[in-house]
């Protein structure tokens, strides 16, 4: 039964809840730390959230500050939490370590004019939502690239700046030429407007020329993250070996503290993260000092469960019985291959076009060693329901050349860009190996280790193999499917994959 409120109480509550007479409602016009307090009270109060909010307001535990009335609204917002609300977080989050409370306070942050290098450090946060400036729909400004402080204070400043300017100028100079070539070989569809056709051709041109953009190119990111995840991200940023990452971390912390100050109070650099990274880098350098990276396939399935079908069937049945897993596994082992296939089919065959497979698939994991150009890594890294270990960018694995560059007669321009960047990288890397990565275009390849569960592979392959995707990561998704199909064909047959090669020239 829904709690009844008086007329006066309803007037007080109205600006902050979407309804006062139903059991499910949303909060608005409340500072994030106040929201976290209210949700935290669920675990230590018999009262409803609306009743606790009334108590906080009436007892002056929250300060009301009248704001100028907007013409379209007569409501006043709850402007800030009182010292008692902050004290709550000091006690329960900081003092007693109840960090889950911080998950109810959310910050929305605009992070502008950071390099693509730094954007990948930021987006390594698993429990956050990001929207980034697209290399497909936006033509990047040729004057905007990161002037890395150590580089700009070194003898390589001129080389670094000249190389970035050359790459971005070439990117801008070729844009209209490539867009015109795409239009010439891409007829407008019967139902496609001229404007839509032009936009599609421009997007294709951007896709092709993004390979030339240096990793120093400045980008913009929108991030939504809760207080607990943000504190962890700030610790990583403030402990990072790159100066830009530490600078971004300090700026993000300063701005986010205006929204959730108490919950970020102790976010700081970690000696553990910094010193462990330095130690492992030294050990890797010691053990691989005189070896050259082997030339292997772009996508290699390196670890997978040998008994995958049996494990999946047992995981499926387990959720529908009262038996311990050991007993379920024993029964599954007695089933024929046909019976196991029937169970998998019953579990997956009814999926509609927008249905994701059920969660039993998460009990199977597959690890892939992937060699991919930085541009495609920029896209696939955003699949964060995965454990990923990227290697630092370097000019040791060569670069990818889009086939359109050859077809449009632009190989000389493209190869000149790659040669200049590689030469600059090698010169800078002698003294500043970490900072040298900024000068490398997105065409250069890097290695990354991905461990996906089978359910996430369904999502990744279906999304990234489709026609609308970039050719580079589309190829990765298709190869991931082929590798899984090679070892577990029964399970692979339920993955929705597009194996077509969409060549606009045909």
Residues 6+ apart with CB under 8 A from 64: 57, 76, 78, 79
Q: Which two tokens stand for residue 427?
A: 């010169």
Give the closest residue to 445 by CA, choosing from 297, 338, 276: 297
- In angstroms, what is the C-alpha Rg of the chain? 27
Strand, helix or coil at 57? helix
**What pLDDT does 66 receive?**
41
Asked if 226 and 130 touch (Cβ cutoff 8 Å), the reply is no
Q: Which two tokens stand for residue 278?
A: 């330095």
**What pLDDT does 23 receive?**
87
Asked if 306 and 380 touch (Cβ cutoff 8 Å), the reply is no
CB count, 10 Å around CB of 367? Answer: 15
Q: Alpha-carbon distance 41 to 52, whole Å? A: 8
CB count, 10 Å around CB of 353? Answer: 5
Which H helix or E strand runs over 341?
helix 337-348
Strand, helix or coil at 349? coil
**What pLDDT does 383 receive?**
85
> What domains are there in the chain, each with its CATH number?
7-102 (no CATH), 108-291+411-440 (3.30.1360)
* pLDDT tens, per residue, the chain with 506 residues: 778 999 999 999 999 999 999 989 999 988 887 888 888 888 778 899 999 999 888 877 665 444 323 334 334 444 444 455 566 656 655 554 556 777 888 999 999 999 999 999 999 998 999 999 999 999 999 999 999 999 999 999 999 999 999 999 999 999 999 999 999 999 988 889 999 999 999 999 999 999 999 999 999 999 999 999 999 999 999 999 999 999 999 999 999 988 888 778 889 999 999 999 999 999 999 999 889 998 778 999 999 999 999 999 999 999 999 999 999 999 999 999 999 999 999 999 999 999 999 999 999 999 999 999 999 999 999 888 899 999 999 999 999 999 999 999 999 999 999 999 999 999 999 999 999 999 999 999 999 999 999 999 999 999 999 988 888 999 999 999 999 999 999 999 999 999 998 754 43
**365-373 β-sheet, strand order:** 299-303, 365-373, 445-453, 387-390
First to last CA, the chain: 66
Cα–Cα–Cα angle for 201, 205, 210, rounded to 5 degrees: 150
CB count, 10 Å around CB of 199? Answer: 13
Give the closest residue to 374 by CA, choosing from 424, 444, 425: 444
CB count, 10 Å around CB of 200? Answer: 16
280-to-243, 269, 273, 276 alpha-carbon distances in Å: 19, 18, 11, 6
Q: Alpha-carbon distance 451 to 480, whole Å? A: 11
**What pLDDT does 44 receive?**
77
Strand, helix or coil at 472? helix
Strand, helix or coil at 52? helix
**What pLDDT does 83 receive?**
56
44-to-66, 90, 296, 431, 506 alpha-carbon distances in Å: 30, 16, 57, 57, 66
Question: Got the DSSP string for 123-183?
Answer: TT-SSEEEEE--TTT-PPPTT-B---HHHHTSTTHHHHHHHHHHHHHHHHHHHHHHHHHHH
Q: Alpha-carbon distance 98 to 89, whole Å? A: 9
Q: Which two tokens stand for residue 359?
A: 């969660």
**What pLDDT does 232 receive?**
94
What's 211's DSSP letter? G
């Amino acid at each position: 039964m829904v709690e009844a409120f008086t007329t006066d109480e309803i007037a007080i509550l109205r600006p902050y809840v979407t309804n006062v007479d139903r059991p499910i409602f949303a909060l608005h016009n409340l500072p994030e730390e106040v929201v976290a307090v209210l949700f935290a009270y669920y675990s230590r109060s018999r009262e409803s959230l609306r009743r606790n909010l009334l108590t906080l307001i009436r007892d002056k535990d929250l300060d009301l500050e009248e704001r100028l009335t907007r013409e379209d609204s007569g409501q006043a917002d709850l402007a800030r939490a009182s010292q008692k609300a902050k004290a709550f977080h000091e006690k329960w989050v900081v003092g007693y370590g109840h960090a889950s409370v911080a998950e109810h306070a959310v910050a929305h942050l605009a992070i502008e004019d950071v390099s693509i290098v730094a954007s990948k450090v930021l987006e390594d946060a698993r429990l956050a939502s990001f929207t980034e400036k697209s290399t497909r729909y936006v033509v990047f400004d040729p004057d905007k690239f990161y002037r890395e402080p150590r580089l700009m204070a070194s003898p390589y400043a001129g080389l670094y700046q000249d190389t970035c300017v050359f790459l971005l100028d070439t990117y801008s100079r070729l844009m209209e030429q490539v867009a015109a070539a795409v239009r010439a070989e891409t007829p407008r569809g019967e139902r496609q407007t001229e404007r839509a056709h032009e936009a599609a051709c421009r997007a294709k041109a951007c896709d092709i020329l993004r390979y030339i953009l240096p990793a120093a190119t400045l980008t913009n990111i929108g991030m939504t993250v809760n207080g607990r995840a943000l504190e962890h991200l700030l610790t990583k940023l403030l402990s990072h070996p790159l100066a830009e990452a530490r600078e971004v971390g300090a700026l993000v912390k300063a701005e986010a503290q205006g929204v959730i100050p108490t919950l970020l109070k102790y976010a700081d650099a970690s000696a553990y993260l910094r010193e462990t990274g330095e130690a492992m880098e030294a050990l890797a350098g010691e053990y691989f000092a005189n070896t050259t990276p082997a030339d292997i396939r772009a996508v290699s399935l390196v670890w997978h469960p040998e008994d995958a079908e049996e494990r999946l069937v047992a995981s499926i049945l387990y959720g529908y019985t009262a038996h311990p897993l050991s007993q379920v596994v024993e029964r599954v082992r007695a089933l024929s291959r046909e019976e196991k296939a029937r169970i998998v089919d019953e579990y997956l065959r009814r999926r509609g076009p927008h249905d994701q497979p059920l969660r039993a698939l998460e009990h199977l994991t597959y690890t892939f060693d992937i060699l991919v150009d930085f541009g495609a890594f920029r896209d696939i890294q955003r699949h964060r329901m995965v454990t990923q270990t990227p290697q630092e960018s370097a000019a040791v694995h060569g670069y990818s050349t889009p086939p359109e560059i050859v077809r449009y007669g632009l190989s000389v321009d493209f190869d000149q860009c790659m040669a200049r960047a590689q030469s600059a990288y090698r010169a800078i890397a002698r003294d500043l190996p970490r900072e040298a990565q900024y000068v490398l275009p997105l065409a250069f390849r890097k290695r990354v280790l991905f461990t996906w569960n089978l359910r996430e592979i369904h999502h990744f392959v279906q999304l990234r193999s489709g026609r609308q995707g970039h050719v580079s990561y589309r190829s990765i998704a298709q190869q991931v499917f082929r590798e899984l199909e090679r070892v577990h064909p029964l399970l692979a047959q339920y993955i929705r994959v597009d194996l077509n090669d969409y060549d606009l020239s045909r």
